[in-house]
Structure 1
Amino acid sequence: MPMGNVEKLEALIQGYLKGKIGRRDFVVGGLQLGLSLAVLTRLTAPARAANLMDSAPEAPYESPITQERVAFLKTKPFKGTTINVMVLKTTVGDGLKYHVPHWEEETGGKVNVAEVPIETLHQQIFSDLASGLGRYDAYMTGAWFYGDFFVPKTPYIVEIDKFQADPRHPYWDPDQWLPAMRKLYEWNGKLYGVLFDGDAQALYYRKDIFTDSKNQEKFKDKYGYSLPAPPKTMKELQDAAAFFTGWDWASDGGEGWGLALHAKVNEQGFFHFLSLSAPYVISPDNKYYFFNPQDMKPLINSEGHLRALEDYLKLANAGPREEISWTLGQGWNLFLAGRSAMEPTWGDLPTLAQDPKTSKVKGKMGAAGMPGTTEAFNPITGQWKKYELNQVGNTNGGSWHCVISRNSKKQEATYDFLAFMANKKNAFFNSTNGWTGVQPGMKFEYLPPVGTASLDEFKAQNWDADDAMEYLKGYYSVLSAPVQQEYLRIPGTAEYWHELDVNISAVLGGQMQPKAALDATAAAWEKITQRYGREKQKVLYQASFA
């Protein structure tokens, strides 16, 4: 930096620290001097935090809040402004709609929400973007859509740093993200998404059933070892699932099942396979699950993936035959009704379990990371290797959140609404109420020593204390596992995963054999890669591991 600019920067800093200029003027001045927005944001973060108040009458739905925000709200800044948001027609869409009237009350703005089913969401988002009409200001996206936003030279969506740096907008701190979650909201280190959801899959089980002495005795008599609570290996998971299938272990006159799944095509059921198959392929010696990074040849039909699918089919037999056509909610209902001993799924399940109107399992929840394997296949070297226990974490799911369209003429108002939902008060509410479809991705949503939440805060949202501790411990173990499954976000990911979804469902339905299904998936993936350009895809795939 030239000496003249150094002196100007010193004067700028002094003016900001003495309160002679605001944060916005400081950021603008720093940009003019050549500093990056990221650096300026870090420089001002402590000052902004010091400027926080716990609450204000002008903002009954926000906490904490800046003084600049309070002054801004007094003007009803978005009166006469209407923003249009496309959301997923499911629980996460309901979660967003809940906050609409509150934001409208505070700001004077209006929000129109268009709900779209998951099977057409990707198509409708990118049809609107490609048309250039800009009918929508923001879109609720799955994290796997990201690569498609960056196909054109000018991305379809905008960075949010410039809005996040403005203290007039609702306060939220991206540094509170758990590292595994933050990267799903970024592209090439730049922030595009605004906090909402934080998906990962863990194993949930009936702690009361697994610790029952009679069940433990029966299990040991049948399998020759103690009933694991929870199962730590895939073999233990299969045995436990088979053990609890076909009899009244709940002693209430109903038929019990070992494990619940949902497998309807276009309902995200393929994520179950991704999570459960990970330790067959991912290990401390291999991080590649989808493609060989050297040539973008699919790995999905490797020996490890095949063994995983064969074992996945065994697990599916521990649930009702109808689950191959179940939606996500139907899969959860079996567990919530007390009819399933286990379910590998998202954090919605233990959250929904807290509602006594729809759940019989409140206070009975156990949670753990996905079971591992004692042998994994390295598809790059073509060799199997034994491990004492190979457990793999994941961020599988949508991690649904909103991004702002480059075509929007109301980007500031749009960001303000999205940031409103990211404010700590609203984000914590979302993550502790199952009907919102939101899971915890921020430190303040976890108990110490990970975060700063308290059991009293969970009890205030009608949580059973033991369930909260079990859930947060199990969920965090997935997100913080040292070995993590990759998350695919290159262009065409929605197409790659659709092919896998269809073929996995065909195996569960008896229409295809596992090997044929994975070979068909690999062949379809090759065509998708060729269409997008092998070299382009290879560069992006390799970059995702940087």
Structure 2
Amino acid sequence: MVAGVPPAFAADPPDAKAPPRPESTTVTVVQPSDVPVPRVLPPCAPGKCLFAGQKVTVIATKSAISIALLEVEEEFEAATGAELDIVRMPGIEHFPTIISDMTNRIGKYDASIAGGWWIGDMVAGGHLLSYDQWYDDPRFPKWSVDDVLPGPRNLLSYGGKKYMVAYDHDGQVMYFRRDLLADARHQAAFRQKYGYALAVPQTWAQFRDAAEYFTGQDLNGDGVPDHGIVLALKPGSQGMFNYMSLSASFVIGPTNARLYWFDPQTMKPLIESPGHVRALEVFVDLVKFGPREMLTWDHGRGWDHFLAGRAAFALTWGDLGALAQQTGSKVKGKTGAAQIPGTHEYYDLVQGKWVKTDAINRVGNTTGASWAGVISKYSKAPEATYFLLSLLAAKEKSQVYAARGSDGIDPGRRFHFLPPEGTGTTEPYLRAGWDAADIRDYLGAFQRTFSDKQQFPYLRIPGAYSYWLALDLHLVEAASGQLSPAAALKAAVVDFEEITIRLGRERQREAYRTSLGF
């Protein structure tokens, strides 16, 4: 994800209509950290430059997520002899521009730093080159797909071929104020009110109680009442991501690993199931414990609220944990993180009934953009393009990207995490100014999220954003009290059907089955 600009949503094919969306999620409470990235390649010798005279043009969103691309330009050109042209444009223009270039087979852009949900459109249209043929070629900078944890690794391939070169790894976790949960006064008051110990919430029922308890209390010492939770619910601005992450454990479980969005035989929407409805009821209930203004906030505004010490909990991406370490943060050294809570019961869409679980039913997620490099089938310099993308994926660079926070690139590879599960160290994070306790909570939360055997099924079919936008707009209607949760999801189903009919049911069915590995 990106501190500064959210994922670049856009319409599916260029002829589809979708409302424009806000561009900025600027964070104002903290200042960016300045951590240098090491060069890993020497300049090539005259006459021995691998791609001398070639030109690589990359399109990327004009936001923090393309900072690393700008940084590597000089090194890439010196190491290869090729010229690099970086085209950065607003997020609402990025996808329409690249998909139009591909659909019309122009080849103006060799590569894109693309969002994970774009792949359905790009692969279904036959517009991407797989990099399988170059992955083990010693001419290119080496990086390992196997280093990527299982959840985000699944997004790099489609239909058995590798298309996305690892860069950013998104997922959502629960952030909490460690100092508040450890406070003896709060512990005593919470136990008196709810009858059990105040601790890191493991279930959504516990999360609800803790959010309610902290609402109205002064959490940062400024004399102003604060909030139990902060969410970003501005229409068209990513609120549906929070719902996806929350709802996963109400629908996905040991007997239903993949069914959430559609029936893979008919493409009938499944999102008005009893599990989805109950999840939205929980979601709407939690909205009461945040500032009313968050119905109009994007994620940057929500992150600011947490960074200023004004919320006890947040559900969001890796950006917030990194931002909490930067100058201006009121919560450095106080920011805990854990895998998102779960349930003891989920609605199994396969069996059509509620299923109880002895253990807490948790579901990992890769909710978000997971920005990564893709190569256009119409590229005039595909090998030089893969060289660039693999250079960005190099371990030495990725370690810095994941720790510094200001580039929007989040961790997801084994060397980002600590032993025994990972192979990394705290050193890159300490160098970027992190608090030691915050590091361990943060990395543990994401390691568990990305390694969970149960993963939320990411939607990678043509028109994914159109479906998500429809869901988002109806979620806002529920959150604001305009519609009941059941009515909001029923309205979303109607929109889903219209989108499927417009794009072609059989085409969508085939893409959906391929994306899920059926």
Q: TM-score w.r.t. structure 2 length? A: 0.87
Q: Secondary structure at the match of 1:384?
A: strand
Q: Deviations over 1:362-400 (max 9, x none)?
A: 111211111111221123333122223211111111111
1:277 maps onto 2:256 in alignment: no
Q: CA deviation at 1:112?
A: 2.9
Tell me what 1:84 maps to: 57
- The 2-side partners of 1:358 and 1:250 are apart by 13
Gaps of 5+ in 1: 1-59
Please list, as runs of the form range in 1=range in 2, the aligned pairs for 1:387-406 lying within 5 A after superposition.
387-388=357-358, 389-406=360-377
Which of 381, 390, 400 is 1:410 aligned to? 381
Tell me what 2:113 maps to: 140
- The 1-side partners of 2:294 and 2:85 are apart by 35
Q: Secondary structure at the match of 1:331?
A: helix
Return 104-113 or 277-286, whichever deviates more.
104-113
1:465 maps onto 2:436 in alignment: yes
Considering only aligned residues, what root-mean-square deviation do their CA atoms show, in Å?
Answer: 2.1
Q: Secondary structure at the match of 1:220?
A: helix
- The 1-side partners of 2:54 and 2:38 are apart by 20
Return 213-222 or 459-468, whichever deviates more.
459-468
Partner AA of 1:522 in structure 2: V
Return 523-532 or 99-108, whichever deviates more.
99-108
8 A contact 2:110–2:382 mirrored in 1: yes
Q: CA deviation at 1:244?
A: 1.0
Return 359-368 or 248-257, whichever deviates more.
248-257
Partner AA of 1:387 in structure 2: T
Please list, as runs of the form range in 1=range in 2, the aligned pairs for 1:110-189 lying within 5 A after superposition.
110-152=83-125, 155-189=126-160
Tell me what 1:437 maps to: 408
Tell me what 1:56 maps to: none
- The 2-side partners of 1:411 and 1:272 are apart by 37
Tell me what 1:244 maps to: 214
8 A contact 1:87–1:116 mirrored in 2: yes
8 A contact 1:62–1:420 mirrored in 2: no
Partner AA of 1:264 in structure 2: K
8 A contact 2:44–2:78 mirrored in 1: no
- The 1-side partners of 2:106 and 2:445 are apart by 45
1:331 maps onto 2:302 in alignment: yes
Please list, as runs of the form range in 1=range in 2, the aligned pairs for 1:242-321 lying within 5 A after superposition.
242-287=212-257, 288-321=259-292
- The 1-side partners of 2:39 and 2:146 are apart by 19
- The 1-side partners of 2:470 and 2:46 are apart by 48
Q: 1:250 to 1:221 in 2, by over 3 A?
A: farther
Partner AA of 1:269 in structure 2: G
Q: Secondary structure at the match of 1:374?
A: strand
- The 1-side partners of 2:379 and 2:317 are apart by 33
Q: CA deviation at 1:405?
A: 0.9
Which of 367, 392, 397 is 2:337 aligned to? 367
8 A contact 1:178–1:442 mirrored in 2: yes
Tell me what 2:348 maps to: 378
- The 1-side partners of 2:213 and 2:166 are apart by 41
- The 2-side partners of 1:467 and 1:427 are apart by 20
1:449 maps onto 2:438 in alignment: no
8 A contact 1:95–1:435 mirrored in 2: no
Q: CA deviation at 1:188?
A: 1.5
Partner AA of 1:352 in structure 2: L
Q: Deviations over 1:26-73 (max 9, x none)?
A: xxxxxxxxxxxxxxxxxxxxxxxxxxxxxxxxxx9444x6xxx87679
8 A contact 1:158–1:405 mirrored in 2: yes
Q: CA deviation at 1:150?
A: 2.1
Tell me what 1:214 maps to: 185
8 A contact 2:115–2:370 mirrored in 1: yes
Tell me what 1:358 maps to: 328
1:194 maps onto 2:165 in alignment: yes
Q: TM-score w.r.t. structure 1 length? A: 0.83
Q: Secondary structure at the match of 1:305?
A: helix
Q: Secondary structure at the match of 2:112?
A: strand
Q: 1:61 to 1:412 in 2, by over 3 A?
A: farther
1:204 maps onto 2:175 in alignment: yes
Q: CA deviation at 1:78?
A: 4.6
- The 2-side partners of 1:343 and 1:295 are apart by 37
8 A contact 2:346–2:356 mirrored in 1: yes
Q: Secondary structure at the match of 1:258?
A: strand
Q: CA deviation at 1:80?
A: 4.7
Larger Rg: 1
Q: CA deviation at 1:118?
A: 3.4
8 A contact 1:354–1:464 mirrored in 2: yes
Return 504-513 or 232-241, whichever deviates more.
504-513
8 A contact 1:88–1:115 mirrored in 2: yes
Please list, as runs of the form range in 1=range in 2, the aligned pairs for 1:503-522 lying within 5 A after superposition.
503-522=474-493
Partner AA of 2:197 in structure 1: S
Return 322-331 or 403-412, whichever deviates more.
322-331
Tell me what 1:57 maps to: none
Partner AA of 1:282 in structure 2: I
8 A contact 1:193–1:401 mirrored in 2: yes
8 A contact 1:352–1:435 mirrored in 2: yes
Q: 1:72 to 1:359 in 2, by over 3 A?
A: farther
- The 2-side partners of 1:488 and 1:105 are apart by 39
Q: CA deviation at 1:313?
A: 1.1
- The 2-side partners of 1:100 and 1:535 are apart by 43
- The 2-side partners of 1:268 and 1:249 are apart by 26
Partner AA of 1:541 in structure 2: Y
- The 2-side partners of 1:446 and 1:263 are apart by 31
Partner AA of 1:199 in structure 2: D
Q: Deviations over 1:178-227 (max 9, x none)?
A: 12221101111211111101111111111111111111111112212111
Q: Secondary structure at the match of 2:355?
A: strand
Q: Deviations over 1:299-355 (max 9, x none)?
A: 111111111112111212221122222222222111111111111111111111111
Gaps of 5+ in 2: 1-36
Q: 1:530 to 1:311 in 2, by over 3 A?
A: same
8 A contact 2:337–2:441 mirrored in 1: yes
Return 344-353 or 316-325, whichever deviates more.
316-325
Q: Deviations over 1:6-40 (max 9, x none)?
A: xxxxxxxxxxxxxxxxxxxxxxxxxxxxxxxxxxx
Identify, as 1 or 2, the structure richer in helix: 1
Return 461-470 or 534-543, whichever deviates more.
534-543
- The 1-side partners of 2:355 and 2:76 are apart by 54
Q: CA deviation at 1:247?
A: 1.7
Q: Report the count of equivalent residues.
A: 479
Q: 1:263 to 1:387 in 2, by over 3 A?
A: same
Identity %: 40
Q: CA deviation at 1:523?
A: 1.1
